[in-house]
Chains A and B, each alone.
Chain A
Amino acid sequence: MFPIVEAKPLAAAVKQFKIAAPEIAKKRKPGQFIVLRINEEGERIPLTMADADPEAGTITLIFQELGKSTEQLGKLKAGDMISDLIGPLGVPTHIEKFGTVVCVGGGIGIAPVYPIAKAMREAGNTVLSIIGARTKNLLILEEEMAKVSHSLKVSTDDGSYGYHGFVSDILQNVIDEGTTINLVVAIGPVPMMRVICNVTRNQKIKTVVSLNPIMVDATGMCGACRVTVGGRTRFVCVDGPEFDGHEVNFVELVKRQRAYLDQEKLSLETFRHQGGACLGGKS
């Protein structure tokens, strides 16, 4: 069992948890993720680690309540226990001195971008960050990102804060201004990553994206998370989660992510119907 040490809201339907997992906290590197299972009936859900504190023995998870499992997770408080936590999983982000690195985070994708931006800066890169959300109250980690970036630009889709538009528009502007970019790291919703890759493709700017397809075991055993990269089938859980964005088949990825929409809806409705009170309950 893994105790939740701290649980706080970050934005609308976005929570930040610190969970005691000393062994994982010591090992975790930027780009890596964990799989958790809330309780006996729970599914195995992958979440990227936004941070870790090896001394305190905690890892930081930031998640958006989107379906049953995340909503149920969001109802937990400090002191509650999570049944299973597996990690660190996935290949860590390749960190080296590239020169100028643009870190792009969209919505909840800002959470996994944050440790990467931090590590890129520590490796001596000039870090230009662009973060965005649909609307102001969904924007997270602005202060933290500002601290680790040489410059930070912010956008909202509805114009309620920062630049009115998309993170891809800002990136386009940065490119148009003639800034030399050695690497772009983009994490966010699939459509966002796809557009970012379209922006950088013409300029031949290497672009790394972090994918979050449906997973089950997340150790290379089931193949649920397969994605076509450069015409080859890869498993995101062990080969990724990061890939060359110019090679990813995003169309297929979107379709695969939607595979269980009906069941996910049913699951969430059932959960809400029971007042969200079936935590750890046995029927």
Chain B
Amino acid sequence: MTETTEKKKRTQIPRQKMPEQDPKVRAKNFDEVPFGYTPELAKLEASRCLQCKKPTCIEGCPVSIDIPAFLDLILQGDFLGAARKLKEMNSLPAVCGRVCPQEDQCEKVCILGKKGEPVAIGRLERFAADYEMAHGEFIMPPKAPPTGKNVAVVGAGPAGLTLAGDLIKKGHQVTIFEALHKTGGVLVYGIPEFRLPKAIVQAEVDYLEKTGVEVRTNMVIGKIYTVDELMANGYNAVFLGTGAGLPTFMNIPGENFNGVYSANEYLTRSNLMKAYLFPRYDTPIAKGKKVAVLGGGNVAMDSARTALRLGADDVYIVYRRSKKELPARIEEVHHAEEEGVQFHFLTLPVEILGNEDGWVCGMKCQRMELGEPDESGRRRPIPVPGSEFTLEVDMVVVAIGTGANPLVPSTTPDLQTNKWGYIVADPETGTTSKKGVYAGGDIVTGSATVILAMGAGRKAAEAIHKYLTE
């Protein structure tokens, strides 16, 4: 068979679906939605890759994974080899395989996508990483000789974990300081178990610890130590990956009624504190029957799907633009729809109503229509006069975004921040206005994706390494 006919044959294989829980069943449990590929499905899907001479997928990946190489290893049946290939560039493949917006990155530029459907790179990444977790042994990655330099990493989220993994390989001593009692940042407090099992995150962190990274939880930098104190305590460089954790509210009347949650609080109670297992776990959570989630991003979808799982009869996504403008991943919107989440598009909440005990009992809304595009490029919603109506709800989750947490900047006087409180840092190196201090991830860019934060961690690791060795 010639190479051309072989290629043609490959392109005729359809993109393989990932088996997943039935929507009706999964809407009532917190187990992960997709089961993942079997080895057979993985090989079949990997065989669709054309092994392009100029692979565009690598350019589409913020951390430049050698995608054709790991797909080929899967095709050969060398699943452990595939996982190790991934880990050359990505210290959290099991996480990225689950939560990366692949459709906007590697898969978007896959040549197969031009005529049909792209290779399911994300699903295969997940497969290889999971396979290694289940079958692999720990192998110490190659490490440079010790440099005698110490790096403090503030925040154990995607940016900090990636940076730590890179710097330890380069021979530096790395300590991660995490404010919460668990590592993972948004991966553990924000993303629900049904989308990213916590055991997966823990396994990735365990791997880092085995490579020599020191992890100190319960350390609120800015309080227990300032950045200056860290440097005085012998750290030669500091990386700030503190995230954008400050919840924002609508600033409409009634937002302090009981039953109004920020998405951060709602998801933290449920995910990090396991309130869905109350009273076995001690943290309670309100179980609304009619729940409105305000916003249209992934966090809103996560909140809505969590509300269903906690026993809500009706869950509404209330979004002021139309379905077309929803910022959430298509797959997440699709999953939410399948599970029964109802969408109120072109709807703006104007007031939350409460009863005498201070509990939510309704929400006044206004209908919107779309006008000209605004600075974000999305069509601006305009209120329709006289269209006010009341939505009957007993709980509201505000998922309209987050801001910069001021704890570190406010205690680091010579660290430059912008008007929104984000740290000013060079996007290519993470260099801040303060010598030896680097920053990356959401605390620099505002809320973005896990993989972009990891990319920022990677670039900052390069820059810190240079700074420490030159």
Taking beta carbons and an 8 Å cutoff, which residues of A are in contact with B? 23-24, 27, 37, 41-44, 68-69, 83-89, 216-217, 219-224, 226-228, 233, 238, 252, 255-256, 258-260, 263-264, 266-267, 270, 283
Contacts and interface: CB of A to CB of B under 8 A. Distances in A.
Contact of A86 (B179, B225, B265, B407): B179
Contact of A256 (B179, B180, B262, B358): B358
Interface in B153-201: 179-181, 189
Contacts of A233: 249, 255-256
A255 B223 CA distance: 30
B108 to A, nearest CB: 32
A5 B126 CA distance: 46
B203 interface: no
Contact of B268 (A222, A256, A283): A222
Interface stretch (B275-283, B288-296, B321-329): B275-283
A85 to B, nearest CB: 6
Nearest to A226: B256
A43 B246 contact: no
Contacts, number: 112
Contacts of B258: 255-256, 258-259
Interface of B: 179-181, 189, 217-220, 223-225, 245-247, 249, 255-256, 258-259, 262, 264-265, 268-269, 273-274, 278-284, 286, 357-358, 405-407
B281 A41 contact: yes
B218 A85 contact: yes
A220 B268 contact: no
Nearest to A222: B265
B405 A221 contact: yes
A221 B443 CA distance: 13
A43 B245 CA distance: 20
Contacts of A83: 181
A93 to B, nearest CB: 15
Contact of B217 (A84, A89, A255): A84
26 contacts: A23-B225, A43-B273, A43-B281, A43-B284, A84-B218, A87-B220, A87-B224, A88-B223, A216-B265, A216-B283, A219-B220, A219-B245, A220-B406, A221-B189, A221-B268, A222-B247, A222-B262, A223-B249, A226-B256, A227-B256, A233-B256, A255-B258, A260-B284, A264-B284, A267-B279, A267-B284
A252 B256 contact: yes
Contacts of B265: 216, 222-224
Nearest to B286: A259
A83 B219 CA distance: 14
Q: Which 9 A-B pairs have the closest CB atoms?
A: A255-B358, A263-B284, A222-B265, A221-B245, A43-B282, A84-B181, A223-B262, A43-B283, A259-B258
Given A44-B283, A222-B268, 13 more contacts: A41-B282, A44-B273, A86-B181, A89-B220, A89-B223, A216-B265, A220-B246, A221-B189, A255-B258, A256-B256, A256-B258, A263-B278, A264-B284
B223 A220 contact: no
Contacts of A23: 224-225
A220 B405 CA distance: 7
Nearest to B403: A220
B224 A27 contact: yes
Contacts of A259: 258-259, 286
A263 B279 contact: yes
B357 A255 contact: yes
B209 to A, nearest CB: 17
Which residue, of A24, A223, A267, has the highest number of chain B Cβ atoms within 10 A? A223
Contacts of B406: 220, 238
Main secondary structure of the interface of A (DSSP, over half): mixed
Contacts of B280: 41, 283
A256 B220 CA distance: 26
A281 B163 CA distance: 36
Nearest to A267: B279
A88 B279 contact: no
Contacts of B179: 86, 217, 219
Contacts of A270: 279
B246 A216 contact: no
Contacts of B273: 43-44, 216
Nearest to B357: A255
A228 B256 CA distance: 8
Nearest to A86: B218
B213 to A, nearest CB: 20
A81 to B, nearest CB: 13
B362 to A, nearest CB: 17
B406 to A, nearest CB: 7
Nearest to B181: A84
A83 B268 CA distance: 18
A222 B271 CA distance: 13
A252 B264 CA distance: 21
B247 A238 contact: no
A88 B282 CA distance: 23
Given A69-B282, A222-B264, A223-B262, A216 B269 contact: yes
A102 to B, nearest CB: 29
Nearest to B216: A23
Nearest to B398: A223
B129 to A, nearest CB: 26
Contacts of A264: 284
A223 B181 contact: no
Nearest to A45: B282
Contacts of A222: 247, 262, 264-265, 268-269
A68 B282 contact: yes
Contacts of B180: 217, 219
A14 B273 CA distance: 27
A217 B268 contact: yes
B48 to A, nearest CB: 42
Contacts of A220: 245-246, 405-407
Contact of B282 (A89, A223, A255, A267): A267
A179 B278 CA distance: 52
A266 B181 CA distance: 25
B247 A223 contact: yes
A267 B279 CA distance: 6
A73 to B, nearest CB: 11
Contact of B279 (A217, A226, A266): A266
Nearest to A89: B223
A43 B268 CA distance: 11
